[in-house]
Structure 1
Amino acid sequence: MHFNKSSFQYLKDLKKNNNRDWFADTKPVFKEAQDNAKELYASIRESLEQHDEIDKFKLFRIYRDVRFSKDKTPYQPHFAGSFSRLGKELRGGYYLRIRPGESFLAGGFWEPNKEDLFRIRKEIELDASEFRKILKAENYIKYFGGKFEGHELKSAPRGFDKEHSDIDLLRKKGFIAVRNFTDKEVLSPNFLSEIDKSYKALRPFFNFFSDVLTTNLNGESIID
């Protein structure tokens, strides 16, 4: 299974002709590209379920909400989808966006709620060695550059020491692993394999964060 050149070309054309008339005139082409995307994401899920438990998949709509945006173009010139892991014990999620010149996959914790974020920070404050181990893992460095992406505070979060040795981690408001793809890589026969290998490299990250978010600081389960 692969993403077709014709589907990729459609996204390029949509970016250049991002208006309702052009979209309506090329609706059959859109449907073909969308079906191709659905098939690709279905294959990704099938691969994921060989080594993880997936609860649900969401393919994001191509229609933009322009009500509060300065950009009034009506369509997203990309396909994007996310996979949620199964159950309270398995935290984290997978994401993939296909957009000419700006394709990437990601996984992790984009905007954790305040309780989860506080729990993660308390773990970092107590002992960040497991966080550092994740970042130094060979496959994590290979696919994700050995770092967490995500927004961060300019200073220490309230109640935490700004001189803490792991202040770089404490300041983060999210913990995301990101791998970018060139257009050539997206259209390669190996694209699906590269996605799956990247997602597999996230498992130590997900397993550790799942453990943190389902226990208290004493290591006791908080799952009902």
Structure 2
Amino acid sequence: MTDQRRDTHDLHDEEVAHAWQQLVATARRTVADRLVVGTSGNVSVRVGDLVLVTPSGVPYDRLTPDDVTGVDLDGRQVLGTLIPTSELPMHLAVHRTTDARAVVHTHAVHATAVSTLVSELPPVHYMTSALGGPVRVAPYATYGTEELARNLLDALTDRTACLLQNHGTLTYAPTLDQAYDRTAQLEWMCRLWLTAASVPGHTPNLLTEEQLRQVGEKLSGYGQR
């Protein structure tokens, strides 16, 4: 019985170590792709009831395997000594109330610009359907607060992404790669809308609910089987 418990523990440790490695790689990718500046964004990934998160104020290129930082779903730190991201309430709200296994938050320029202009990103491209529908803007609240967490949950209803007013983006998915891809897609759509809307004398054509529904049906069967 002792050996069985040790084997299970070792497997869990390996899973956590692998998840931390992926989290750090994703965080570094947000910087490399200019979705954040410095340490302004944050990333989390769930392993069972453990949520691994980027630590507060530590440049991602300095993170090592020994810096693993984790909390339980109530926010109690159970792994590491570095202070978790200040946006922990936001991440935990998503992990507790959705099927998310990974969450990515950025301060992407075009998406943040859009968050200051509208209450919902206009459906200017069919990939709107890939995020569950037109992306809503969560009303502004001070970063790191429960108020912000509540606002974003409302904006995420039936969606896998939202904009945070005068702040940035948040996406979630079953994996870090998928969450990152949704973030990149959202930033691209925001840039597209801003570009089209800036042409003098023209208004961007927007897709209808029916057009988005049809795309949603096609996307459900997209890719390799």
TM-score over 0.5 for the alignment? no
Length-normalised TM-score, structure 1:
0.33
- Using CA pairs below 8 Å that are at least 6 residues apart, which structure has the higher relative contact order? 1
> Highest Rg: 1 or 2?
1
Length-normalised TM-score, structure 2:
0.33
